[in-house]
Amino acid sequence: MPTYKAPLRDMRFLLKDVLNAEAALSELPYYTQHETHSADLADQILDEAARFASNVIQPLNASGDAEGCTVQGGVVTTPAGFKEAFKQYAAAGWTGLDGDPEYGGQGVPHVIGNAVSEMMIAANVAWSMYPGLSHGAYTALKAYASDETKNIYLPKLLTGEWTGTMCLTEPHCGTDLGLLRTKAVDNNDGTYSLSGTKIFISAGEHDFADNIVHLVLARIEGAPAGTKGISLFLVPKFMVNPDGSLGERNPVVCASLEHKMGIKANATAVLNFDGAKGILVGQANRGMQAMFIMMNGARLGTGMQGLGLGEVAYQNALAYAKDRIQMRHEPRITPAEAADPIIGYPDVRRMLMTVKAYNEGARALAMWLALQIDVEHHHPDAGKREEAADIVALLTPVAKAFMTDNGFTNTVMAQQVFGGHGYIREWGMEQYVRDARIGQIYEGTNGIQALDLLGRKVLGDGGKKLQKLSSLLTAFVEENEGNEELESMLEVLGKAAQQAGTLTMVIGQKAMQNPDEANAAAVDYLRYIGHVTYAYLFAVMSKAALEQIVLGNDRDGFYRAKVQTAQFYYAKLFPETKTLAATIKAGNGPMQVDDAAMFGVERPLVTA
Ligand SMILES: Cc1cc2nc3c(=O)[nH]c(=O)nc-3n(C[C@H](O)[C@H](O)[C@H](O)COP(=O)(O)OP(=O)(O)OC[C@H]3O[C@@H](n4cnc5c(N)ncnc54)[C@H](O)[C@@H]3O)c2cc1C
């Protein structure tokens, strides 16, 4: 059975040596006023969370997968131990960790909350989605609900008495929400009646909490077609009286649960709304804007699933590689044994170091972005808030897609280290592969993330946000000129910043002639930007680690390993950008084929 130990050393390295989070958070009065900005408090929280993840959540991971969720008469039962663990989690205050103290939260910075969520995900991703979705609902309501609604709902979400969901997808539409049909009829008493079917709703029905707060996209009768006619509604499972007590059961019913490849312990529900009462959140017909708050958070959260699963898969593959003996290494590593440990072979080291490097790049990106989110929301200087918001907007699709694509291949690679045993259930590695796959699909497929990055975030604003990322890279290169130990990384980084600009221009020019050119290049482009971002972060991490080595602080070898991981990344993983640059330049041409010959269709689908 797999085990999990939170990577506290790496988290602390990022918080202290790389991001200097305490100093950054000290500039944010929201946190200083609640006294939640200190490194000491962060240390205590991380220690406690690590214990909870390993001792309470992780032991339920394999059993939850084997048992799954069941539904009978609309009532969902989650696997043994799940709801008790959630009660324990809520009672210990974790559900309100980074919530606003005005509503009963603890006001802990998002950057710390994000590290805690990595641990819960790694320990048990299916379980972690129940509090994860609630957190998303809390964020959207906090941003867009009326004060009255906030006063009733936010404290209950933060205590974990109630949980939340995100109801977008319908049988005929997932990516294209403009097609959605769920209808809302105005009751002219401040409520609407919603009718329709939502599918694939994570944590859509369960036995964790007294009430479930569904955030639902629907079209008010008579509203325009497309995304401009969509509104956001709050539809509780049980109606809520003005004093917060629970009223009658609302007709929103779980018709069935999906049978799926992974995350089996998370209830993925088909929900029928049959005149269910809801209240409007934000303005009518502006629902997509309000839902984007939740979706952006959820996209980063999904990226974290790639990281968490990659990390736990790595830890177990590493332990196995040290233990498993096969064949004889030259020179012998363990001459007294019949064979040598597989960790001695370069190909096994390649797999382990690839997974480790992608995990550490992902953690650096996630922590950096989480801190930028803190700055975006709470910095007193509007200019600083805007800078942070631009980086978060640009890199949210990158974090979602690059982290989950790498997360999935990481679990596969870690499974490969186990040879045939990786394919056998009792080792737990095949569960990680199955659980990681969904990250590439939901919250907007990774293809759609790529279109968001290239179309909206880069070409859509004339490259302004991309320029901010490039400026960070070039500033780092200039500041560190002459630093011999960083020299080779700086050379690569400087060229990468330039090439990112050139590639963007090439695509932009082609896309002006034919919009399909952007669609054709987007996935490779996102991967390219992902690599450039990780290369920047590995250079920053190397600098911080080298400084600690000079100070004589490398007793456990952590900093040396960090620099060597960065060097491995630059030598073995970053060169993929050469292929990506070539495939980006190849453009849409190779897909413009004879549709009849290639796809067996009579009529050309796309005119060249
Ligand atoms: C386990 C699970 C849990 C989920 N949880 C939730 C949840 O809690 N709430 C919720 O609302 N939804 C949820 N979803 C739904 C999920 O977000 C959607 O499945 C996903 O966004 C894709 O939509 P779709 O399945 O309709 O695929 P489609 O939109 O039909 O897409 C099919 C393919 O076409 C591609 N494609 C579509 N349009 C374009 C385009 N313009 N250019 C290029 N390629 C395109 C897509 O990338 C994809 O590869 C969940 C799904 C699953 C499987």
- pLDDT 10s digits, 318-345: 999 999 999 999 999 999 999 999 999 9
Q: Mean pLDDT throughout 94-109?
A: 98
CA of 441 to the centre of ligand 1 (A): 6
Residue to substitute in 165, 212, 305, 442 for testing ligand 1 pocket (most ligand atoms within 8 angstroms of CB): 442
Give the model's confidence band at 111: pLDDT under 50 very low, under 70 low, under 90 confident, else very high.
Answer: very high
Q: Is the CB of 449 under 6 A from ligand 1?
A: no
Give the model's confidence band at 494: pLDDT under 50 very low, under 70 low, under 90 confident, else very high.
Answer: very high
- On the question of pLDDT at 374 being above 90, the answer is yes
- Return all residues near 503 (Cβ < 8 A) that are at least 6 apart: 525, 528, 581, 584, 585
Q: Is the CB of 470 under 6 A from ligand 1?
A: no
Nearest to 216 by CA among 245, 255, 177, 248: 177
Q: Is the CB of 447 under 6 A from ligand 1?
A: yes
Q: Is the CB of 4 under 6 A from ligand 1?
A: no
The percent of residues above 90 in pLDDT, for the chain, comes to 96
β-strands 162-167, 183-186 pairing: unpaired
CA of 510 to the centre of ligand 1 (A): 27
DSSP 243: T
User: What pLDDT sits at residue 290?
Assistant: 87
Q: How many helices (H) and strands (E) does the chain have?
A: 20, 11
Q: Is the CB of 200 under 6 A from ligand 1?
A: yes
Q: Mean pLDDT throughout 298-314?
A: 97
CA of 368 to the centre of ligand 1 (A): 28
User: What pLDDT sits at residue 94?
Assistant: 98
Q: Is the CB of 521 under 6 A from ligand 1?
A: no
Closest residue by CA, ligand 1 atom 40: 448
Residue to substitute in 448, 451, 523, 605 for testing ligand 1 pocket (most ligand atoms within 8 angstroms of CB): 448
Q: Mean pLDDT throughout 56-63?
A: 98
Between CA 564 and CA 353 the distance in angstroms is 10
pLDDT tens by residue, 259-296: 999 999 999 999 999 999 999 999 999 999 888 888 88
User: What pLDDT sits at residue 204?
Assistant: 98
Supply the angle between the helices 516-550 and 464-479 in degrees, to the nearest 10.
Answer: 30
CA of 168 to the centre of ligand 1 (A): 10
Do residues 358 and 573 touch, judged by C-beta distance below 8 A? yes
User: What pLDDT sits at residue 291?
Assistant: 87
Q: Mean pLDDT throughout 377-384?
A: 97
Q: Is the CB of 438 under 6 A from ligand 1?
A: yes
CA of 256 to the centre of ligand 1 (A): 19
Q: Mean pLDDT throughout 66-72?
A: 98
The kind and range of the H/E element at 219 are: strand 211-220
pLDDT tens by residue, 10-52: 999 999 999 999 999 999 999 999 999 999 999 999 999 999 9
User: What pLDDT sits at residue 328?
Assistant: 96
Q: Is the CB of 445 under 6 A from ligand 1?
A: yes
Which tokens go with 462? 């004339």
Give the model's confidence band at 226: pLDDT under 50 very low, under 70 low, under 90 confident, else very high.
Answer: very high
Residues noted as catalytic: 443
User: What pLDDT sits at residue 575?
Assistant: 98
The percent of residues above 70 in pLDDT, for the chain, comes to 99
Do residues 236 and 214 touch, judged by C-beta distance below 8 A? yes
Question: Of all atoms in ligand 1, which is nearest to the CA of residue 217?
Answer: 11
**In which residue are the tokens 């929201």 written?**
30
Residue to substitute in 167, 445, 454 for testing ligand 1 pocket (most ligand atoms within 8 angstroms of CB): 445
- On the question of pLDDT at 519 being above 80, the answer is yes
Which tokens go with 458? 């880069």
Give the model's confidence band at 607: pLDDT under 50 very low, under 70 low, under 90 confident, else very high.
Answer: low
**In which residue are the tokens 């590290």 written?**
115
Q: Is the CB of 116 under 6 A from ligand 1?
A: no
CA of 23 to the centre of ligand 1 (A): 40
Do residues 94 and 127 touch, judged by C-beta distance below 8 A? no
CA of 267 to the centre of ligand 1 (A): 17
Cα dist from 162 to 138, 209, 239, 293, 475, whole Å = 11, 5, 12, 20, 47
User: What pLDDT sits at residue 605?
Assistant: 72
